[in-house]
Amino acid sequence: MRPWLHIPVLIFLGALLLGGWVAFRPIELERQDPAPMLDGPLAKLPPPQPRGILEGVLVDPLGEPVAEADLSTQQDGRILWTQTRADGSFALQGLQGGPLQLSVLPRGRLPEVFSLVGPGKQVRLALQRPEETVPTIPTLTHSDWWGRVRNPVDRKHLAGYQIWLIPTGAADSLQAGIPRRTETDADGDFWIPSLIHTDYQVYVLAPGDGGSLEPNLLVPLGASPPLLDHGSGATPAEWVLQSGQLFGEVRSEGRPVRSAMVMLEALVDSNAETGLSRVLPAVQTDAEGRWLVPDLPPATYRVRVRGGGIAQEKQIEVRANQRLRVQF
């Protein structure tokens, strides 16, 4: 064997011996005496404070026990509550020492507050305020209301007239009614069931009118509506329309003008050139040049015609139950 081959073998054997000695040699651990975590003695928690009880009885101004009354107080952010028994006795637990304000809410009476020195003694609480008077709400009475609308200038076309009843009282009053609406049938009859007994303003609108309570065909333009006192002895009503009609023909050179526009404006003042109070929808002439504007409340109207080479206007006064012919 060559001499230089012994060197690696010797190094390997030396390392093996050194590792075994390190692995199996005894290790001495340093022993330490236990030391307290706190430098001083442990702090003792204060013993819980005793919880006080307030016991007593609640009576009314006549000395009679008050049952089912709510009693409450507030201490250190806590709300403590109890209720009186049938004999008026109570026990309010969990109180701290010291004065307290006890709120009492009896049934049917106004609340009261008592100042007490604290728990631990029997107390007798006497209410000072009388029983609270609870207002009674009157019962609203109802009955049906019916009637008929008459139109002296047109006795055939009575269907579709709108009947509006608007209560005159404030909406927040105990006897307030509610607005009611109905329509007439072909005979002009109407019926409103279960109408509250109160006062109403009455409006009658032409068939097809909507969005406004004007014009009211029971009165001249702008006048106050009639009143209805609806009570238990209400009788059938008959409302006579106070409206009129305008009708006529439009002719040019002796021949009827078809599809001419007829426009009406109700004037505030019969002498006014401006200041119009109501503009009515325009109507067209038929094949014979005829036109008709029904259900006009009494007023002065400016009537204008445009079409067929005609541009004319007239000022006409319409009275109640009047049917006027206007020729162009």
Query: 112-147, pLDDT tens digit by residue?
Result: 999 998 888 789 999 998 776 666 777 788 899 999
> Is the Cβ–Cβ distance between 305 and 328 less than 8 Å?
yes
Same domain assignment for residues 255 and 234:
no
> Is the Cβ–Cβ distance between 145 and 230 less than 8 Å?
yes
Same domain assignment for residues 193 and 256:
no
Same domain assignment for residues 219 and 283:
no
Mean pLDDT of 309-313: 88
Tokens at 219, concatenated: 């009165």
Same domain assignment for residues 158 and 68:
no
Residue 32: inside a domain: no
Among residues 240, 257, 274, the one where a domain terminates is: 240
> Is the Cβ–Cβ distance between 275 and 313 less than 8 Å?
no
Please report the pLDDT score of residue 171 as a whole number.
75
Strand partners, 149: 239
CA angle 135, 136, 142 (to 5 degrees): 145
Same domain assignment for residues 235 and 249:
no
CA distances from 202 to 157, 165, 217, 267 (A): 21, 5, 10, 24
Tokens at 19, concatenated: 């590792």
Range of the domain at 59: 52-126
Measured over the CA atoms of residue 214, residue 219, residue 224 and residue 229, the dihedral's sign is negative
Q: Give the least confident one: 4-8, 52-56, 174-178.
A: 4-8
Which residues does 311 contact at the CB level (< 8 Å), separation at least 6? 305
Same domain assignment for residues 165 and 226:
yes
Mean pLDDT of 272-282: 64
> Is the Cβ–Cβ distance between 318 and 269 less than 8 Å?
no
Residue 2: inside a domain: no
Whether this model's pTM surpasses 0.85: no
Residue 40: inside a domain: no
Please report the pLDDT score of residue 261 as a whole number.
94
Same domain assignment for residues 105 and 157:
no
* pLDDT higher at 16 or 178: 178
CA angle 256, 259, 265 (to 5 degrees): 105
Same domain assignment for residues 153 and 231:
yes
Residue 22: inside a domain: no
The tens digit of pLDDT for each residue in 95-105 reads 988 888 999 99
Same domain assignment for residues 74 and 94:
yes
Percentage of residues in the chain with pLDDT exceeding 90? 47
The dihedral region occupied by 295, where left means phi > 0, alpha psi between -120 and 50, and beta the remainder, is: left
Residue 175: inside a domain: yes
Same domain assignment for residues 254 and 222:
no
Here the CATH number for the domain that contains residue 302 is 2.60.40.10
Q: Give the least confident one: 15-24, 25-34, 157-166, 240-249.
A: 25-34
Residue 320: inside a domain: yes
CA distances from 218 to 33, 104, 113, 225, 254 (A): 114, 61, 62, 7, 39
Among residues 76, 98, 126, the one where a domain terminates is: 126
What is the count of structural domains for the chain? Answer: 3
Please report the pLDDT score of residue 38 as a whole number.
47
Q: How far apart are the C-alpha atoms of 79 and 103, rounded to whole Å? A: 11
Same domain assignment for residues 187 and 266:
no
Q: How far apart are the C-alpha atoms of 179 and 225, rounded to whole Å? A: 15
Same domain assignment for residues 156 and 208:
yes
> Rounded to an integer, what is the distance from CA 77 to the centroid of its chain?
37
Burial (CB < 10 A; 0-12, 13-18, 19+), residue 256, is middle
Residue 256: inside a domain: yes
The tens digit of pLDDT for each residue in 186-245 reads 999 999 999 999 999 999 999 987 667 878 999 887 789 999 988 866 677 899 999 999
Q: Give the least confident one: 83-92, 182-191, 216-225, 266-275.
A: 266-275
Please report the pLDDT score of residue 270 as a whole number.
47
Residue 167: inside a domain: yes
Among residues 94, 126, 158, the one where a domain terminates is: 126
Q: How far apart are the C-alpha atoms of 177 and 168, rounded to whole Å? A: 8
> Is the Cβ–Cβ distance between 282 and 262 less than 8 Å?
yes
